[in-house]
Amino acid sequence: MNRFTNKTVLVTGGSSGIGLAAAVAFAAEGATVVITGRDVVTLGQAQATIGSKAVALHNDASDIADAKLLAESLIARGLRLDAVFINAGVAKLVPFAEVDEMLWNRGCAEFCVNGQSTAGASRPVRKHNEHQETRRTRRTAVWP
């Protein structure tokens, strides 16, 4: 099936792990996939893995200024987003017994980064789509 033919999907953190797997799956369903990440080399490898339907953009989802640049890049490329898979985030995974005060505080900071990346990615995307279309009702695509 090609449920995403003629659709464009943004996958933040799409250069590795779950984000890359989602990007590959969206592309397999026919989507043009825009992936973002902080590491240029990993982004290039991910783009090659996804194939010709991939657009790789260097972007730090934890940086609000970068989120604005992402929206500008999408507009400059004439891309209209049909779906967004907000995946970028950071985590330090250790057994609970190893969590000390310093690691706990780091986890709180990471939570803020992850929340900011969601807000940072979604706000410019909304503005981007408003730039492309005015007041159009849209369906949300949910990956099964």
- Give residue-wise pLDDT tens across range 101-138: 776 666 665 656 555 555 555 555 565 556 555 444 44
Q: Supply the mean pLDDT for the chain.
A: 78
pTM of the model: 0.72
Give the CA dihedral 119, 122, 128, 133, nearest 10 degrees: -130
Going by their DSSP bridges, the two strands 8-11 and 54-58 should be labelled as unpaired
Residue with tokens 């979604």: 122
14 closest CA partner among 84, 109, 114, 113: 84
Going by their DSSP bridges, the two strands 8-11 and 32-37 should be labelled as parallel
pLDDT digit string (tens) for 45-67?
A: 999 999 999 999 998 877 778 87
* pLDDT number for residue 108: 60
For residues 33 and 13, the answer to whether their CB atoms sit within 8 Å is no
pLDDT digit string (tens) for 15-41?
A: 999 999 999 999 999 999 999 998 999
Determine the Cα–Cα distance for residues 125 and 75; give it in Å rounded to an integer: 10
- Tell whether the model's pLDDT for residue 81 goes beyond 90: no
Determine the Cα–Cα distance for residues 71 and 6; give it in Å rounded to an integer: 20
Handedness of CA 130, 82, 60, 53 (dihedral sign): negative
